[in-house]
Amino acid sequence: MFSEETLVSSGIECLHAFLASQPNWSDLPLLLLTAPRADSPAVRKASETMGNLTLLERPTRIASLISAARAALRARTRQYQSRSQLIELELAARALGASEQQLREAHTRKDEFLATLAHELRNPLAPIRNALYILRRKGQDASLAPLHEIVDRQLNQLVRLVDDLMEVSRITRGKIELHMEELDIGSVLRSAIETSRPLIEAARHELRVDLPDVPLRVKGDALRLAQVFANLLNNAAKYTDEGGTITVRASVEGRDAVISVRDSGIGISADMLPSIFEMFTQVPGSTERAQGGLGIGLTLVRSLVELHEGRVSATSEGPGLGSEFTVRLKLAPERSSVHLPPSAPVLDLPVLQRRMIVVDDNRDAADTLAMVLRSFDADVQVVYNAEDALNLLRPGSNEVVLADIGMPDVDGYELARRIRADSTHASVRLVAMSGWGQQQDHARSKAAGFDFHLTKPADLETLTTLLASFESNAEARPQRFVAAHEDVS
């Protein structure tokens, strides 16, 4: 509070400078005591330039002065309260920003961990698959066949678990790719049933299948849809007591193909049904039944069905009364005639004539792969580091190098770059054999000079078919990079 005389003596400019220096939240209240009917230049300028100004004409009543002062103090108090709230909001915003950054970093670390874990798991799976293949081809004792089948089933289960690890990352980032084609839902269901049959038979369940006589044509990815129904069948088998009943039924409702998987298992309570498709949701009391999985099967089902522009729902009459999962997919437009694809021909065993060099620091993986290739009469050399592989290459040859990526000292990428830098090795074919299977890994392989990228454990039929194709095409390396068994992430 100040008088007109003080205002004139101190100067409006000095007071203006002080007011201008206030922080954004502050609007200092001013009380100006003026002469009666004062209309001086100083008062006029103050009124025009100072926002929070109250003029009190002298003589001023004490009550009016006190009231004006209290109002100014209340206004100032509210400003300080606003400042405190602004500070709290700013601190909260900073904390939120830090939390978001931490979440992004955690998400990145999670993806890196899943990729590393999948790689480390795939490396030992490769020699196991190779060794099993050799044992089955060389084995003369028929009594060992059931043991071979057990190892094969368990190996495939491990491979599926590794694939599920990668699926978590794909789902959260929306990176699942579909290879769409027109297909018969009946053939998809038969494929899913074959995948789940070992689990169903092990629990002695009765499987009932009710499919229409005519094909139900839908547009979809055969592999992914088979994954959908295999997951539903696996769940039904796991959550049904031994000797239960599982029913698979397909029908047409309007323009939809409707496929249901019903079981006589433990059922789902009404309060759990809305969240049954959420990540890692477990039905109470079912934890001991969830063996052999990671708890993401139904999340995968929902995501894949929605990518096909379909719907999936779950119903149950309650605990102990079984469950039913229903998938609805749009039928493909009718055609005047339907030509079903012919059954896949039985391929003759290929003859591999090119000299091959297998290089992998994992000796078990290298040695067993060489044994597989030699069973096709291939000329195979095995080395355990990149330098030895370079020394084995012959100038001007059309050899095939099957190289691991994650080798010490000189890795597979550097090996490929050195081979491509030597013009005398222009006809050499380079195949990456790696436990690293994400999109960026395929891109790095291509950039380094590899022609093909196979993710461990490689499907041996795919590998031998690929190698046999080199025999019928003796030209220089192809222009198109091929990533087989790609893990899109």
Asked if the structure places residue 156 within a domain, the reply is: no
pLDDT of amino acid 344: 37
Asked if the structure places residue 211 within a domain, the reply is: yes
Q: pLDDT band at 486, cuts 50/70/90?
A: very low
The most confident of the ranges 5-9, 45-49, 454-458 is 454-458
* Average pLDDT of span 20-38: 77
* Of 419, 404, 410, 417, nearest in space to 453 by CA: 404
| Alpha-carbon distances of 137 from 144, 347, 482, rounded to whole Å | 12, 16, 29
Average the pLDDT over each of 67-81, 268-282, 405-419, 470-484 and give the range with the smallest value. Answer: 470-484
User: For the segment 446-479, what is each residue's pLDDT rounded down to a tens digit?
Assistant: 999 999 999 888 888 888 888 888 876 654 444 4
Domain count, the chain: 3
Mean residue pLDDT across the chain: 81
Residue 442: pLDDT over 50: yes
Q: Check whether residue 302 and residue 402 sit in a common domain.
A: no
Q: Which one of 330, 363, 392 terminates a domain?
A: 330
Asked if the structure places residue 276 within a domain, the reply is: yes
3-state secondary structure of 182: strand
| Cα 364 from Cα 385, distance rounded (Å) | 14
What are φ and ψ of residue 428, in 5° steps?
A: -70, 135
Provide the β-strand partners of residue 31.
54
* Of 231, 98, 239, 99, nearest in space to 171 by CA: 231
Q: pLDDT band at 201, cuts 50/70/90?
A: very high
User: For the segment 339-386, what is each residue's pLDDT rounded down to a tens digit?
Assistant: 434 433 333 455 677 899 999 998 988 999 999 899 888 899 999 999
User: For the segment 91-107, what is each residue's pLDDT rounded down to a tens digit?
Assistant: 888 888 888 888 888 77
CATH code for the domain in which residue 381 is found: 3.40.50.2300
Q: Check whether residue 310 and residue 416 sit in a common domain.
A: no
Taking the CA atoms of residue 315, residue 319, residue 323 and residue 325 in that order, the dihedral angle to the nearest 10 degrees is: 40
pLDDT of amino acid 341: 42
Residue 114: pLDDT over 80: no
Q: Which one of 87, 119, 144 terminates a domain?
A: 87
Asked if the structure places residue 204 within a domain, the reply is: yes
Q: Check whether residue 210 and residue 263 sit in a common domain.
A: yes
CATH code for the domain in which residue 220 is found: 3.30.565.10
* Average pLDDT of span 150-157: 74
| Cα 185 from Cα 217, distance rounded (Å) | 6
Q: What is the percent of the chain where pLDDT is above 70?
A: 79
Q: Check whether residue 385 and residue 477 sit in a common domain.
A: yes
* Of 224, 165, 154, 227, nearest in space to 195 by CA: 227
Provide the β-strand partners of residue 380.
356
Q: Check whether residue 318 and residue 376 sit in a common domain.
A: no
Q: Greater confidence, 164 or 235?
A: 235
Domain encompassing residue 424: 355-484
Q: Check whether residue 187 and residue 313 sit in a common domain.
A: yes
Asked if the structure places residue 36 within a domain, the reply is: yes
Q: Which one of 330, 345, 371 terminates a domain?
A: 330
Q: Check whether residue 278 and residue 409 sit in a common domain.
A: no
* Of 289, 167, 176, nearest in space to 237 by CA: 289
**DSSP character for 483?**
E
3-state secondary structure of 50: coil
pLDDT of amino acid 292: 47
Q: Check whether residue 311 and residue 382 sit in a common domain.
A: no
- pTM of the entire predicted model: 0.50
User: For the segment 296-329, what is each residue's pLDDT rounded down to a tens digit?
Assistant: 678 878 888 998 999 999 999 999 999 999 999 9
Q: Check whether residue 322 and residue 360 sit in a common domain.
A: no
Q: Check whether residue 312 and residue 359 sit in a common domain.
A: no
Average the pLDDT over each of 93-97, 410-414, 429-433 and give the range with the smallest value. Answer: 93-97
Q: Check whether residue 395 and residue 315 sit in a common domain.
A: no
Asked if the structure places residue 125 within a domain, the reply is: no
Asked if the structure places residue 409 within a domain, the reply is: yes
Asked if the structure places residue 405 within a domain, the reply is: yes
Q: Check whether residue 375 and residue 320 sit in a common domain.
A: no
